[in-house]
């Protein structure tokens, strides 16, 4: 056990899906997994392990922001032997060609956070997803007939950013989605020898003001979840 996870040794599968919201973790476990058991609940950050088409998989919330997700992903990797983390979350869009409920696969993640500079001796660290996991997710989406966008995310520390002009810069540089965790998870995975991927569903559009409700974010976005789960099966075959 750790200060933040009260699961016993061996409670987690080698692959963990991680939404920000612990209630979304509960929803994923109950809707998509069989033989589900709750394995951790410290601070109500719920975690579950079950099977998907016979494959053992875990799902656990990681909270909001890089500090929170970094704690849980680090402990899962170093204390529970997790090899792969797939963040399944929501993001905002700044580009007009990215629409509400589009699925975005984060090949890389820019950030305004300093955490990666702290761990990388004040140099820029290119926070990128594992290539094989990206490839498996793209293939899973194609198999389902779901169009996905693959490219760069922006992981911000401030949900309510005062720097509105930065959205223009993000659009110019082709940022597909703005969220708060991918750059941290990618760096934690790199530091501790694991693999990671971030798949997001566009929950709101920063330019148009369109948005989904908190209930919709918790209970829908099923295409993203199915892509993540199927990508695990594809990865097992191709590795």
Give catalytic residue positions: 204
- Where residue 28 falls (left for φ over 0; alpha for ψ -120 to 50; beta otherwise) is alpha
Secondary structure class of 239 (helix, strand, coil): coil
Sign of torsion, CA 180 185 186 188? Answer: positive
122/203 Cα distance (integer angstroms): 33
16/159 Cα distance (integer angstroms): 25
CB contact at 8 A, 177 and 206: no
CB contact at 8 A, 99 and 93: yes
CB contact at 8 A, 40 and 11: yes
Residues comprising the chain, all counted: 239
Q: What is the CA radius of gyration of the chain?
A: 17
State the DSSP code for 7: P
């Amino acid at each position: 056990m750790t200060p933040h996870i009260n699961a016993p040794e061996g409670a987690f599968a080698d692959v963990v899906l991680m939404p920000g919201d612990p209630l979304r973790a509960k929803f994923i476990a109950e809707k998509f997994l069989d033989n589900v058991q709750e394995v951790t609940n410290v601070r109500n950050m719920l975690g579950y392990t079950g099977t998907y088409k016979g494959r053992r998989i875990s799902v656990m919330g990681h909270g909001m922001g890089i500090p929170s997700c970094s704690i849980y992903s680090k402990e899962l990797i170093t204390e529970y032997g997790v090899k792969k983390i797939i963040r399944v979350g929501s993001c905002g869009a700044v580009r007009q060609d990215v629409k509400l409920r589009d699925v975005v696969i984060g090949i890389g993640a820019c950030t305004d956070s300093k955490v990666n500079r702290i761990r990388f001796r004040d140099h820029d660290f290119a926070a990128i997803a594992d290539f094989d996991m990206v490839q498996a997710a793209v293939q899973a989406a194609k198999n389902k007939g779901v169009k996905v966008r693959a490219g760069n995310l922006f992981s911000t520390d401030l949900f309510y950013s005062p720097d509105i002009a930065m959205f223009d810069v993000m659009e110019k540089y082709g940022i597909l989605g703005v969220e708060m965790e991918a750059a941290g998870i990618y760096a934690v995975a790199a530091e501790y020898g694991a693999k990671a991927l971030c798949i997001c569903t566009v929950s709101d559009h920063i330019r148009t003001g369109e948005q989904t409700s908190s209930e919709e974010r918790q209970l829908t976005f099923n295409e993203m979840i199915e892509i993540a789960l199927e990508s695990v099966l594809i990865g097992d075959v191709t590795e």
